[in-house]
Structure 1
Amino acid sequence: MATVKDVEKIIAELPEVTTGERHGHPTWFVGKQAFAWDRPFSKADVKRYGDETPPSGPILAVSVGDLAEKEAVLAGSSAAVFTIPHFDGFAAVLIQLETVGRKELRELIIDAWLAKAPKALADAYLAG
């Protein structure tokens, strides 16, 4: 199980990240690009679940490189990583923090940062 504090610790290790707010929720940026944000369910999201109970707890959204990568991430990740109809056609996935492992969370956040970071910054980070 991961927490918002785990998210903040992972993000704090990444270069050139700023914290802001979108729609009243914490959002993390590299340059002007959002790569991770708190994404609670709206009333419309909950309604789409019908009789099914939506995932509980804090939900984090993270960017992915493109829609093909989104499908690969969804296919290769744990059940903690999912999408909703509101994200159809949008290169991002959702993560249920209550059920994701810290290692998987770290990989997803770093990949999101890499997807949005300027190429030179991402290359420098990878070169380590």
Structure 2
Amino acid sequence: MTADRPARVEDVHELAQAMPHVSVVHGSKGNAVYQVGGKSFVFFRTPRPDAVDSAGRKLPDVIMFWVESEADKQSLVQDPTTPFFTTPHFDGHNSVLVQASRLGELSRQELAELVQDAWLAQASARRRTAWLAEHAGPSRPER
């Protein structure tokens, strides 16, 4: 891809499926949950009372991404230039939330890094090491 573009929901599915050793399970309402080694790293949530709009309506399009640490989470949710948020339900949980309708505020490349980081946060040490050895470079230093 020569020029980056705004991220789309389809990109989340494409990028998550492109990671190695990924399986897709579906929640009770058919929502996609991407897993590596049985651990979820991207999760399309169903509307829940902990994520609501300003009128109190449940947000219908929330996607959860795992992150490496609480510090990573806070750097994303506290940055007013990003669409990421959290709710009290996720206090102490290494994840961030974003509405699918706001994915376009991210570039596809930013989304790719988010999905890769989510996968890395949940993959086994062996899988993480192998992936990083293959993909380390100037834009992605080894952890």
Give the TM interval when normalised to the shorter protein.
0.7 to 0.9
In the alignment, is the contact (CA less than 8 A) between 1:2 and 1:98 conserved in 2?
Answer: no
Distance in 2 separating the partners of 1:97 and 1:44 = 16
Q: Which moved more, 1:24-33 or 1:109-118?
A: 24-33
- Tell me which of the two structures has the higher relative contact order, counting C-alpha pairs closer than 8 angstroms and 6 or more residues apart: 1
In the alignment, is the contact (CA less than 8 A) between 1:80 and 1:99 conserved in 2?
Answer: yes
2:99 aligned partner: 96
In the alignment, is the contact (CA less than 8 A) between 2:17 and 2:34 conserved in 1?
Answer: no
- Could you tell me how far 1:90 is from its partner in structure 2? 1.2
Q: TM-score, normalised by structure 2?
A: 0.73
In the alignment, is the contact (CA less than 8 A) between 2:50 and 2:87 conserved in 1?
Answer: no
Given the alignment of the two structures, is residue 19 of structure 1 paired with residue 31 of structure 2, yes or no?
no
Q: TM-score, normalised by structure 1?
A: 0.81
- Could you tell me how far 1:83 is from its partner in structure 2? 1.0
Count of aligned residue pairs for this structure pair:
125
Letter in 2 for 1:66: S
In the alignment, is the contact (CA less than 8 A) between 1:80 and 1:97 conserved in 2?
Answer: no
Distance in 1 separating the partners of 2:101 and 2:114 = 15
Distance in 2 separating the partners of 1:9 and 1:77 = 27
How has the CA–CA distance of structure 1 residues 13 and 44 changed in structure 2, closer, same or farther, with 3 Å as cutoff? closer
Letter in 1 for 2:73: K
Given the alignment of the two structures, is residue 120 of structure 1 paired with residue 123 of structure 2, yes or no?
no
1:62 aligned partner: 65
Letter in 2 for 1:60: I
SS state of the match for residue 7, structure 2? coil
Distance in 1 separating the partners of 2:24 and 2:117 = 18
Q: Which moved more, 1:3-12 or 1:95-104?
A: 95-104
Same amino acid, percent of matched pairs: 30
- Could you tell me how far 1:111 is from its partner in structure 2? 0.4
How has the CA–CA distance of structure 1 residues 40 and 80 changed in structure 2, closer, same or farther, with 3 Å as cutoff? farther
Larger radius of gyration: 2
CA RMSD of aligned residues (A): 2.4
- Could you tell me how far 1:78 is from its partner in structure 2? 3.8
Distance in 2 separating the partners of 1:105 and 1:96 = 13
